[in-house]
Chain A
Amino acid sequence: MALDAYQKREFKQVGTRPNRPDGVDKVTGRAMYGADATAPGMLHAKILRSPHAHARIVSIDTSAAEALAGVKAIVTAADFGVPEDDFLRDVQDHCMARGKVLYDGHAVAAVAATTIAAAKAALKLIKVEYETLPHVTDVDAAMKPGAPVVQAGRAYENVPAGMSENVTHHCEFGHGDLDAGFAKADRVVERHFKTAATHQGYIEPNACLASVTSDGKAELWVCTQGQYFYRTLCAALLGMEASQLRVTASEIGGGFGGKTMIYMEPVALALSKKAGRPVKLVLTRDEVFRATGPTVSSSMDVKIGMTKDGRITAAQARLCYSGGAFPNTTVDMGAQAAFAAYDLDAVQTLGWNVMTNRPKESAYRAPGAPLSIYAVESVVDELCQHFGLDPLAVRLLNAADKGTKSSYGPTFDQIGLKATLEAAQAHPHYTAPLGPNQGRGLSCGFWFNFGGNTCVSLNVNTDGTVGVTEGNPDIGGSRASISLMAAEELGIPYEKIRTIVADTSSLGYNDVTDGSRVTFAVGLATIKAARDAIRKMCSRAAKIWGIDEEAVEWVDGAAVPAGPNAGKFPPMTLAEIAAVSAETGGPIAGHYEVNADGAGVSFGVHLCDIEVDPETGATKVLRYTVFQDAGKAVHPSYVEGQMQGGAVQGIGWALNEEYIYGTDGRLQNAGFLDYRIPVASDLPMIDTVILEIPNPGHPYGVRGVGETGIVPPLAAIANAVSRAVGVRMTELPMSPPKLLKALEAKG
């Protein structure tokens, strides 16, 4: 395993900024996204969705719709089985309601027809009789005894007795004596926080093309973050063997975690199977908001004790998350992440998941962490304000470091938090002057990062170029990074390498593109696959030279004799070895398969300056700097892109983004007009400072960078607002009406 580990080296290509291989296609409109796939004889599908937040389906009559010209197939839950496995059943029930609709927008039937117009017309002819039921969309209301029960009998055994049936999960993390810790504090602050659900806001709506043939084979072209996981789920729900369902990932117009879960793909497959023709299904933006994606909403209490010189003595968080109408455990990650940045003697986090009549939560960039860390970092900041302490100094004083027993159990290895804080402290941004109604906020952020199942093939072409075949959709420039790592290892130019994302029949199982895992894990597997190919190329050179394999080594893209005793031969380049491969044993390829460990946790610190308009409550972001440890930034532009993108999504979450439900339980703002993600003119340039503290678990020291960036903005902005105008915003989003009201209450 020693060879897996980080080895210090001088990089020649890693760390440079070549153009991304998918760039030209994307900027010229040639890239093939989910909705761009077509097939001969293709039908178009549309989904009928519930107008009710919660209702029993009494009956569904599809006869009139079936009789409509052009309609080729209609499916409802009756066309699917009832999976025994709880998780699979929930996934299927989310795709197509069975017995009850659980939220506004829940699918109840789907039509495939020869035209979109015919499919739309058919939806109007489907008669669904509903018996409406009381609903609940607020997390606190759903926890109260007597609240409408979203699904009965779903609570896990770990839920304490006496709670509403909507509470399905409970978790607890921490160590130390809380009472003793709080007793040592000079001040203890406890605050209640509430955050709205948000959507990943990917620009490309979910889309797929499904084709099932009469001999039971199937193809699915789909916009996804994980074709293998989609295959696993769809095959299970359709009763197919994995080998018979080939899933190909399209280019992806944003996912941010939201495309790690299926929403309508099994419906398209079922329609295709029934109609005997390919079926294309593209969601509208309204459907994307109502039935895919969102994050948890939350209600949280955080209590922290601090001495007057800034040492945190004890910390506790109680987190209630709702992931919609199905059980989930995202609160575990919120609870584990909450205090990760701190070295604490006494800490406890408690979490509950609560069902509400909302769509099923999906992962969104560091799922669960932005909320709990917003609450924690707000209370830390309030304590700093109370004692008049520098908020960066206090964080440094309490910062977790190598050897710290983390608040969620593991002891940290080499981490970059202190270095990141010190970089922020030394940066001119931290001491730049501020004007009236302006404030500066900061927050730490954390994410676990992940490795996971990964399989890479690397083929050496006879013309001296190289193809890398990997299985993870590229959502942040990963093909460029993977090509760079292959080029570095092989010692050939970046331009000689083409990396492609393969379908499910081409490689072994690859985990989804999530957990900031791809540059780390696929990069690791690519480096190892390159080393495998290098060993084979050295062996070919040895054969040609008539010397031992062990007497050949790889230097700067060529095989060379290892030392004077090996014999005197001129170096053989990769291209020279490849050109004669037919005579030395055939094609040359490297492979590597791994369930990668050692991803290495990631910390970031964000600084932001804002200005509040005291007459309208509008918050303007004036200056923003992200400091984050990337381990090794393989392609710095895409590392910066991740840091900037995360920050912008967090800023949106902090200021304006929210799922707004009416008293009727229906989503009020299922569109980009009233679901307000930031637009470019809302924001200053997001400045970035990349720190490179090598991850011991990767040959090049790489750490995942994709998720940490969304964590700090929520508290950074709340803390800046507090310092600008003296009000502590404990509810997100801090939209202008809320902030103006708070300013007026303060007087």
Chain B
Amino acid sequence: MTSKTPLVEMRDMCLSFGGVRAVDHVTVDLHPGEVVGLLGHNGAGKSTLIKMLSGAYRADSGEIFINGDKVTIENPRDARAHNIETIYQTLALADNLDAASNLFLGRELVTATGMVDDDAMEAETRKIMHRLNPNFQKFSAPVSALSGGQRQSVAIARAVYFNAKILIMDEPTAALGPHETQMVSDLIQQLKSEGLGIFLIDHDVHQVMNLCDRASVMKNGKLVGTVDVDKVTDDDLLGMIILGKHPHTGEVMAG
């Protein structure tokens, strides 16, 4: 896998907030058809790292390569232009708008006269929701009226509708019950088989062991290491998260 050009490579990324080094010289990569888990405590810097890829934050330093080409991502529009889609932990939905308006937010379908085509957007939304969550029926209600799982499926639909090549999922199952969590797992497998690269941010070591090919662990803004999940145990991963101890070298991260 290492011989191929990675789909995404984030090299030597740094970002500080005030005096705090939220992300400190971190390098990660992602290949097509691969799921890479990002693990770490709250405040370890994993969300911050990934927000530099999704355009929510601008990096202080570091380089991002997509298919080997250096790119500049300064805002969410840039990220979308590179087919990077993000499912945020907060879902980032406008609660006062309906599912279709949220799904197409920033990329509305328009009629020949340049008017927003709500009917066409609702038709498309019905199609994709039928695939993702067949029980979904509340197409004209504002998303504030939806359940946690339904809101999640709107956020997921938005990410997968626009032919994403790189998908970032920030704790996609945090708000979900077991049945819906299973649905998300199935979806990840399916998208993976379609050749997408997925960054999966998660607290849950089990989930990462099940869904991911590799795991990158962060602690205090630094990268502890990246490992193949089938070469480590749950405890190894926990050791990386809690102690900053690399399972292969046995080295413990300073700080």
Q: Do A and B originate from a single complex?
A: no
